[in-house]
Chains A and B, each alone.
Chain A
Amino acid sequence: MAETVETVQLLSADGVLQQGAAADEYLPFIDALGDDDLKRFHRDMVVTRRFDVEAANLQRQGQLGLWVPSMGQEAAQVGSAHAARDQDHLFPAYREHAVAMVRGVDVLGIIGLLRGTTHGGWNPAESKNFHLYTLVIASQTLHATGYAMGIALDGLHATGDPLVDEAVIVYFGDGSMSQGDLNEALVFAASYQTPQVFFLQNNHWAISVPVSVQSRIPLYQRSAGFGIPGIQVDGNDVLASFAVTRQGLDAARAGAGPRFIEALTYRIGAHTSSDDPTKYRTDAELQRWVAKDPIIRFEKYLRTRGEGDAFFADVAVEAEDFASDIRRRTLELGTPSTDKMFDHVYSEPHPVTSAQKAWLADYESSFGDDQ
């Protein structure tokens, strides 16, 4: 789905900060950012990109069963994630590696999911409220909505203090727009006026199905039918993604009800390492989006602000070190204990899992030292 006249863009394709009526509403959010914030945006995008490349390599080398690339979507993710405040809860789908990075999650947990050492990977309560990846499309939108209902029931929104009021942001893709769960989540969010942002990354492809098959209208326009204000943003513009999301989350936390954001972006890579996008999309289309690379655009902007080669070289070194560390720790990941199959099926003792765990231990020990 093409950009519309309403698409919010703050950085032009060549990295120039836009002025004028369309941008004025959002520029105060950018003006409030310091140099360190902007450098952090860049750093998070670059390190995530390098992490993504390293993980794809690990997959090709047989160290991961599968990889889910995030390349191309870094600006939508980094901008929106930085828009969330510390007390906010973030519910990802499964491609939000940059969001995880922003929230300080040890992304080795993501590696563990795809290497086959865990179904979880991190504890949301110890990961700045970054919840677990959810693989069934759109399931997490209902969990996020229920969580936001809980915030409202707790009276922890609309107190007037944006540093106390809580909000939820939930991530999903264009394919989710056809799922019942997302539509039910939008209904519940509207009914209970939850403090919540629905953040759609429209990367234009649900595996091999183009967004044109999912919808006859720009996707953000659907939210109006649920009674939820919707807005479309250039998802390859990290500043616009930040500003629009900060505005939406702060409105939601202030009691204005849920908001819907469609970030237009593109999945530069395959859906997963098992996919072959050459079978369903053209190289010309891909190259059009490669030319809109969010990292290159933001680097141009930072250079116009006076950042020099030294900064970009430092970030590149940091990204290399990060990738090396991930590689080393990936290869050190062991096989999980068989106890893990049984220990958390239930929170409280259960005779079947206890008996099967004991049986398996006896069975394994029956092989003595030969096993």
Chain B
Amino acid sequence: MSDTVTRAEPAAPTGSATAPAPTESAIAQMPLAKAVNAGLRQAMANDPRVLLMGEDIGPLGGVFRVTEGLQAEFGPRRVLDTPLAESGIVGTAIGLAMRGYRPVCEIQFDGFIFPGFDQITSQLAKMTNRHEGQVQMPVVIRVPYGGHIGAVEHHQESPEAYFAHTPGLRLVSPSTPNDAFWMIQEAIASNDPVMFFEPKSRYWHKGPVDLSGSAAPLHSSRVVRTGTEVTLVGHGAMVTVMLQAAELAAAEGTSVEVIDLRSLSPIDYGPIVASVQKTGRLIVASEAPGFVSVSSEIAATVTEMAFYSLEAPVLRVTGFDAPFPAAKLETVYLPDADRILEAVDRSMAY
């Protein structure tokens, strides 16, 4: 994995209405969805082998408008409105990758990924291994995931663990527009399949994007708030919730450090273990159900790596082990700052 993404010369993106061409120290304010769009545009401008494929991603720009304008700009041969078939999307992306293309598939909603599950886990993930390294699979699968949008069944799920359990896949999830812009380009540059989990509840939140900056390593975690007494770890939309919790905890006199995982497979344990060695307490938060989850994996591994630093058991604050509920109950199901603070109190009480 290259640590930085090679960027085109400033003139490369053309006709862009949403992302200005990179110039020196160009900081743009844009929502996360537009940052993914800008990153996709940059990757397509840099490499003619990059293709987008998915349902409704052409003239409509996707149901979340993440690909808005890209078919008009790059044409229908590079932005493919596909038939409505997730296995077909992933399976043909595998064939296109064999041909030398770098397909970026959009799965419309988290809960709709399962018709493509076999092609992702039995084919895409194993293809390089089956070929003993003689074939590479530079395929990105973009998945708008998670709750907080008040949607109907199958539209608010967090299925990361199914894929994190599968060797051969890489999983990442940006929490900010800047990360979204850079990480999508790094994911496309990867020669391995990357599942790109986009926190859909953050799509419309603006933040700065450093168009002239450089990307952090794709699979690195990052301390986003420093603290001394408790460490919080999570990804995607949960980062915002953790930061709220840390602010509230500070008002109550507890110093909380917050780490944005950014990568779910592999997990960058360096900053996490360093933080736990400082704080002695770890809480892992996620929207996904906790049983056999990424949160469980982190709890087990940090316990192995930093056992003598821990002052309390690693605690998990997760979605309940129930189907994602009807939308009127989602705020109860999804961990909020108060549930994280309850765990902070329990941890501190040990």
Give the CA-CA distance A346 to B168 in the complex, in Å: 6
Within the complex, what minimum Cβ distance (angstroms) separates B99 from chain A?
A: 3
Q: Which residues of B contact A353 (CB under 8 A)?
A: 167
Within the complex, what minimum Cβ distance (angstroms) separates A205 from chain B?
A: 23
With A345-B168, A348-B1 known as contacts, the answer to whether A147 contacts B129 (CB < 8 A) is no
B96 in contact with A345 (CB, 8 Å): no
Within the complex, what minimum Cβ distance (angstroms) separates B219 from chain A?
A: 8
Contact of B128 among A144, A151, A345, A352 (CB under 8 A): A345
B95 in contact with A345 (CB, 8 Å): no
Within the complex, what minimum Cβ distance (angstroms) separates A185 from chain B?
A: 7
B83 in contact with A346 (CB, 8 Å): no
Size of B's binding interface in residues, CB under 8 A: 43
Give the CA-CA distance A348 to B134 in the complex, in Å: 13
Give the CA-CA distance A352 to B297 in the complex, in Å: 13
B91 in contact with A146 (CB, 8 Å): yes
| A148 contacts B by Cβ under 8 Å | yes
Of A131, A143, A350, chain B has the most CB atoms within 10 Å of the CB of: A143
Q: Which residues of A contact B266 (CB under 8 A)?
A: 350-352
| B131 contacts A by Cβ under 8 Å | yes
A187 in contact with B88 (CB, 8 Å): yes
A136 in contact with B118 (CB, 8 Å): yes
| A118 contacts B by Cβ under 8 Å | yes
| B92 contacts A by Cβ under 8 Å | yes
Which parts of A180-194 form the interface with B (CB within 8 Å)?
A: 180-181, 184-185, 187-188, 191
Give the CA-CA distance A348 to B136 in the complex, in Å: 10
Contact of B98 among A143, A184, A343, A344 (CB under 8 A): A143
A343-371 Cβ-contact flags toward B at 8 Å (1 or 0): 11111111111000000000000000000
| B328 contacts A by Cβ under 8 Å | no
Closest to B95 in A: A146
| B94 contacts A by Cβ under 8 Å | yes
* A-B pairs under 8 A by CB, number: 134
B69-98 Cβ-contact flags toward A at 8 Å (1 or 0): 000000001000011010110111111111
B136 in contact with A184 (CB, 8 Å): no
| B135 contacts A by Cβ under 8 Å | yes
Q: Which residues of A contact B132 (CB under 8 A)?
A: 118, 120, 340, 343-344
Closest to B51 in A: A153
Within the complex, what minimum Cβ distance (angstroms) separates A295 from chain B?
A: 32
Q: Which residues of B contact A302 (CB under 8 A)?
A: none
Q: Which residues of B contact A340 (CB under 8 A)?
A: 132
Contact of B94 among A118, A146, A343 (CB under 8 A): A146
B118 in contact with A119 (CB, 8 Å): no
Closest to B100 in A: A150
A344 in contact with B96 (CB, 8 Å): no
Q: Which residues of A contact B1 (CB under 8 A)?
A: 348-349
With A187-B83, A344-B128, A347-B133 known as contacts, the answer to whether A142 contacts B118 (CB < 8 A) is no
A150 in contact with B95 (CB, 8 Å): yes
B168-194 Cβ-contact flags toward A at 8 Å (1 or 0): 101000000000000000000011100
Within the complex, what minimum Cβ distance (angstroms) separates A93 from chain B?
A: 13
| A125 contacts B by Cβ under 8 Å | yes
Within the complex, what minimum Cβ distance (angstroms) separates B173 from chain A?
A: 18
Q: Which residues of B contact A352 (CB under 8 A)?
A: 266
Q: Which residues of A contact B129 (CB under 8 A)?
A: 119, 344-345
Q: A139-B91, A187-B83, A344-B129 are in contact. List 13 more A-B contacts (CB 8 A).
A: A123-B134, A136-B123, A142-B92, A142-B119, A146-B92, A153-B51, A153-B77, A180-B115, A181-B91, A188-B82, A191-B83, A348-B192, A353-B167
What are 28 A-B interface contacts by the 8 Å CB criterion? A118-B132, A120-B130, A143-B92, A143-B94, A143-B95, A145-B92, A145-B95, A146-B95, A146-B99, A147-B95, A147-B96, A148-B95, A149-B92, A153-B51, A181-B87, A181-B118, A184-B83, A184-B88, A184-B91, A188-B92, A191-B83, A344-B128, A344-B132, A346-B192, A348-B192, A349-B1, A352-B266, A353-B167
Closest 9 CB pairs of A and B: A146-B95, A142-B91, A150-B99, A146-B92, A184-B88, A147-B95, A344-B133, A347-B191, A143-B95
Residues of chain A whose beta carbon lies under 8 Å from any beta carbon of chain B: 118-120, 123-125, 131-132, 134, 136, 139, 141-151, 153-154, 180-181, 184-185, 187-188, 191, 340, 343-353
